[in-house]
Chain A
C-alpha cells in the first residue's frame, strides 16, 4: 500500500505530482490510500515511489480532475486516480463512456461543484464595514464544496477596486486591491451585522415579487433553504408567501374602473403632402391592400430620380431591403450594381423599384426565406406600380424576372425564352431579363459566369436602346 498525504483540500500540485509518480511506476489504484494533511491508514506506510518521466492525459480529463478535486468527498482522489489510470493504460476516451459508474460519479460531482460555484457567485452578500477612513466589504458564505480558492479570481475580476474578504468555515479569501491571500476558516460572528442597504434590498425583493404568480417550489429549487440564513432578503419570504393569496384575491375583487373604451388608434395623422406623388408615397406606408404587410417591417417604395429615363422593376424587397426600407440593397442589389456598372449604366440615374412592395417570406428559425408573391398579391400591388410608372414615365422599363414581367405585361412570362429583346409598351420600350437573385441561386461557378454575362448583355441592350441617359428625359 502506498500512502499519499496532500497538503490541503484542493492541493492540485501535490495530487498531480503523486499521480505522475504512481502511474509511471505502475501502481494500480487499489494500492493507494489518499488523505489530506495526515495519513488515514496506519498500515499504508509506503510513500509514493520515486519515478522519472511523465505522461500525457487528454485535456478534458485534466479539466474534469481540476474541478472534481474540490469535491467535499474523501474518495475524490481515489476516483480521479482510477480514471487517470484507465486513460494512462490505453482508454484514451474514457470520459466519453458516460454510462460507466466512475465516469458518471465524476461527472455528477463536477456538476454539483459547478452548481455550488454558481451559487457562491450569486449568494455571497457583502456588508460594508467602515473602519476609520477605510471601507471594506466583508461576506460570510458556507459553500458545500472546497471552492473558495478557485472562485477568488471571479471576485477579483468583478471587484478589483474594492477591498474585500469572503469568510467561510474552512478557509477565507482576502483581497486588498493588489494581492490575494487566504487564511483559516472563520465563524459567522466574524462578519459584522447588517448594513443600511440591506433594508433597501429587502424592500426591493418584496416589491418585485408578484403575488399573483406564487411558485414557492420554483423559488426553492433554485434558492434552497440552506442558503437563506445568509441572505438578507430571505427574511421577507414567509410573509410574502403567506399574504400572496389574499393580495391577489383583493386585486381580482376590486371594483373595475369603467374606462371609456378606446375608439381606435390615437396616433398622429401626418399632414397632407403637397403633391399627388408625395401623397401617394405617404399613403403607401399604410398599405393593407393584401396580407403581406402583416409580417413585414415597412413598405419599400421605389427610389431614384423622378425624371429617370430608365425604370428597373424587380420582384419584391428581401430581408435587407425590408430592414433598410430601400430597394436592392442586399446581395442581389450588389450584384445588380456591379452588372449595371459593367453595362455602362449609372444606378443613381435610374428609378429602381419592385412589382410588390412588401417582403413576403417564411420564417425558418432565425432566417427569413423569400416566398414568391402570388398573382393576387402582384395584382394588388399594381396600384402602386402604376402610380410610379405614370409619374416616372420612363422611356425604357427593365423587367427583372417573372414577377416584374407579369406585373407589367399582365400575363405569365417565360423569362429565359423572352429575355433580351425590346418589347413595345403603350408608353415606351421594355426589356425582360433575369432577376439578379436567380444568378445567386445557381449552384455551379461556370453557370453563374455564363448567366451573369448574359445578364450584362441584356443590360447593354437596355443602355443602347435608351440612348444617353445622363441627360435625363428629353421632354
Chain B
C-alpha cells in the first residue's frame, strides 16, 4: 500500500481523539542541535472545517485491533480498511511535516495488535527514534495502553511530553456494555502509576517524565451515563491523578456502526456544556454539588451552566463590580477569569461604570442584570426577563451549533 493511502486511513482512524494540546511542556530548542522547539504555549497550525485545531500529526500506528469496543471505528468486528505504518514511516512523516512548519509534533496512538506489550513497544520505539536518532525537540503525545508492562510505560514517559489513557466511559457498567475488554480499575491503577512518575522529585541529568502530564477522554452519549455521572468521574480523575485535561467527545456516527449504539449522534451542544461545567469546576471555584443538573442528572442544553446556576441562586446577586471579591465576581454570568482580573485592576483607579465594563470587552447584555456598577443598579425585572428570553435564544438546534 502507498504511504499516502496509509496516511489517509490512519489519520481517519485517529480523528475521534479530541486532544490536540501541545502546550505546557518544558522549554526546548534546537540551537544546540537537533530539530524543533517547545516554548510553553501550543500552536494551532491549521483548523479543520469541524472547528478543531490541528496542532499535532494525529495518527494511529495501525488501526487493526484485538479489542471490540462497540463505539470505535477500529474495533475488531468493523469492516473498515486496515493499514499499518512502520516505525520509520511515522518518523519520516513527522519530521517532514515538522520541517515545513505544519505541526508542533506527533500524537501517536494505536489499535492493539498481538499483545498490549508488543503494541506499546512499537509506540515507544517511534518516540525513541525521534528523540534519540533525530534529536527531535518538538512535542510528542503517546497514547498509553494500560495493560502494558509498567517498564514500557516508564520508558514512554522519558520520550513523550504527554501520556494519556482514555477512560471512554464514566462507569465500569458503561464499559461492560460497550467495551468489554476495558477495565476501569486497571486504568485507574495505571493513571496512579503515571502520577507517581510525573510527580517524582527531579533528578539532575535525568530526563523529566512526561513533563506535560497526563490526560484522558470520555465519550459522551454512547451509553446512558448522565452529565452528573460524567462530571463525577472527571472530578474524581482530576483530583486523584492530577490530570491536565479531561476531554469530552460527543459520540459521533462512524461508518459500519454497531446496532448496540444509539441511532443518532449526541448533540455537540451537550459536549460544549460539559466543557463549560468542567471549567467552572476547575477555574471558577464551583464544586460538583453546585452543578445545575436536572432530575435526569443532565445539564440544561439551552443555557450555559453558570447562567443556569445564577438563575437558581438569585440571592447571590446583584454583585457590585466595584466592591465584590474575586470569588463572587467569578460567579457572575458573562465574566470570565480574564475579565475578573481586569475589573480588579481597573477599579483601583476609578469607580467602574457600565461603559467601562463595555471597554473590558465583555458582553454587557449578559452581565448587566447581575451586577451593580457606579451608574447602574439592575432592575428586578431584568433577571426575570432574562429567564424568559434566554432559554428561547439558546434553544438547542443545528443552527446554534454552528456558532459555538
Residues of A within 8 A of B (CB): 93, 96-99, 104, 118, 121-128, 137, 139, 154, 156-162, 195, 197-201, 203-219, 222-223, 231, 233, 237, 240-241, 244, 248, 251-252, 254, 256-259, 261-262, 264-267, 285-286, 294-298, 319, 322-325, 361, 363-368
Roughly how many angstroms separate A320 CA and B376 CA in the complex, as a whole number? Answer: 51
Assess whether A215 is in contact with B401, with CB atoms less than 8 Å apart: yes
- The answer to the question of B7 belonging to the interface, with a C-beta cut-off of 8 Å to chain A, is yes
Whether A251 touches B183, Cβ cut-off 8 Å, given contacts A157-B30, A200-B96, A219-B47, is no
Question: Are A209 and B48 touching (Cβ within 8 A)?
Answer: yes
Q: Is A137 within 8 A of B99, CB to CB?
A: yes
Contact of B52 with A by CB under 8 A? yes
Choice from A128, A161, A209 contacting B49 with Cβ under 8 Å: A209
* Interface contact A122-B282, CB-CB below 8 Å: no
In the complex, are the beta carbons of B195 and A158 less than 8 A apart?
no
Determine whether the beta carbon of B192 is less than 8 Å from that of A322: yes
User: In the bound complex, what is the Cα–Cα distance between A324 and B137 (angstroms)?
Assistant: 32
Q: Which residues of B contact A (CB under 8 A)?
A: 3-4, 7-9, 11-12, 14-16, 29-31, 33-37, 39, 41, 43-54, 57-58, 68, 70, 77-79, 93, 96-97, 99-102, 171, 176-178, 180-181, 183, 185, 188-189, 191-192, 195-196, 232, 235-236, 238-240, 242, 250, 252-261, 263-265, 268, 281-282, 287-288, 342, 345-346, 348-350, 352, 356, 359-360, 401-404
- Give which listed residue, A244, A325, A361, A363, contacts B238 with CB less than 8 A: A363
Are A96 and B356 interface neighbours, CB within 8 A? no
Give the top 9 A-B pairs by smallest Cβ distance, nearest first: A218-B51, A215-B51, A256-B259, A207-B11, A363-B239, A157-B29, A262-B180, A213-B50, A209-B48
Task: Give complex CA distance A311, B134 in Å.
Answer: 55
Q: Is the CB of B57 within 8 A of A204?
A: yes
- Complex CA–CA separation, A98 to B347 (angstroms): 9
Q: Which of A161, A222, A319 contacts B34, CB < 8 Å?
A: A161
Q: Distance (Å) between the CB of B209 and the closest chain A CB? A: 15
Known: A98-B360, A157-B29, A161-B34. A213 touches B7 (CB 8 A): no
Please determine whether A363 and B288 come into contact, CB atoms closer than 8 angstroms: yes
Q: Are B345 and A223 in contact (CB under 8 A)?
A: no
Using known A-B contacts A161-B34, A257-B258, determine if residue A223 contacts B93 with beta carbons closer than 8 Å.
no
Q: B242 near A366 (CB under 8 angstroms)?
A: yes
Q: B287: which of A125, A364, A366 is its contact (CB, 8 Å)? A: A364
Rounded to whole Å, the gap between the CB of A198 and the closest CB of chain B is: 8
Instruction: Say how far B292's CB is from chain A's closest CB, in angstroms.
Output: 18
Which residue, of B51, B183, B263, has the highest number of chain A Cβ atoms within 10 A? B51
* Distance between Cα atoms of A382 and B41 in the complex (Å): 51
Among B68, B93, B239, find the residue whose CB has the most chain A CB atoms closer than 10 A.
B239
Residue with the highest number of chain B CB atoms closer than 10 Å, among A124, A128, A204, A294: A204
Chain B positions within 8 Å of A210 at CB level: 15-16, 48, 50, 52, 252
Question: Are A205 and B54 in touch, CB under 8 angstroms?
Answer: yes
Contact A233 B46 (CB under 8 A): yes
| A388 smallest CB distance to B (angstroms) | 21
Once the chains bind, are A200 and B4 in contact (CB under 8 Å)? yes
Known: A157-B31, A361-B239. A209 touches B15 (CB 8 A): yes
Given A98-B360, A118-B43, A215-B402, residue A125 in contact with residue B183 (CB < 8 A): no
Cα–Cα, bound, A466→B53 (Å): 66
Q: Are B252 and A212 in contact (CB under 8 A)?
A: yes
B260 and A261 contacting across the interface, CB-CB below 8 Å: yes
Q: Which residues of B contact A211 (CB under 8 A)?
A: 50
Whole-angstrom distance between the Cβ of B178 and the nearest chain A Cβ: 8
Which chain B positions have C-beta within 8 A of A195?
100
| CB atoms of B39 and A154 under 8 A apart | yes
User: Are the C-beta atoms of B50 and A215 separated by less than 8 Å?
Assistant: yes
**Is the beta-carbon distance between B192 and A297 smaller than 8 angstroms?**
yes
Question: Nearest chain A CB to B290's CB is how many angstroms away?
Answer: 12
Among candidates A98, A209, A233, residue contacting B50 with C-beta atoms closer than 8 Å: A209
In the bound assembly, the distance between CA atoms of A252 and B257 in angstroms comes to 8
Which of the listed residues B44, B50, B238 has the most CB atoms from chain A within 10 Å of its own CB?
Answer: B50
Q: Interface centre among B45, B171, B176, by most A CB within 10 Å?
A: B45
- Bound CA span A151–B287, Å: 42
Say yes or no: A159 contacts B99, CB within 8 Å: yes
In the complex, A207→B80 CA distance in Å? Answer: 14
In contact, A201 and B97 (Cβ under 8 angstroms):
yes
Asked whether, in the complex, the Cβ of A200 is within 8 Å of the Cβ of B181, the reply is no
B189 touches A297 (CB 8 A): yes
Q: Is A98 a contact of B342 with CB atoms below 8 Å?
A: yes
Q: How far is the CA of A195 from the CA of B102 in the complex (A)?
A: 13
B346 touches A222 (CB 8 A): no
Give every chain A residue within 8 A of B189 (Cβ-Cβ).
Answer: 297-298, 325
Query: Which of B3, B36, B255, B359 makes the CB contact (< 8 A) with A251?
Result: B255
Kindly provide the distance from the CB of A299 to the nearest chain B CB, expressed in whole angstroms.
9
Interchain nearest-CB distance for A11 vs B (Å): 26
Min distance, Cβ A237 to any Cβ of chain B, angstroms? 6
Q: Are A121 and B259 closer than 8 Å at their CB atoms?
A: no
Contacts of A366 in B (CB 8 A): 238-239, 242, 282
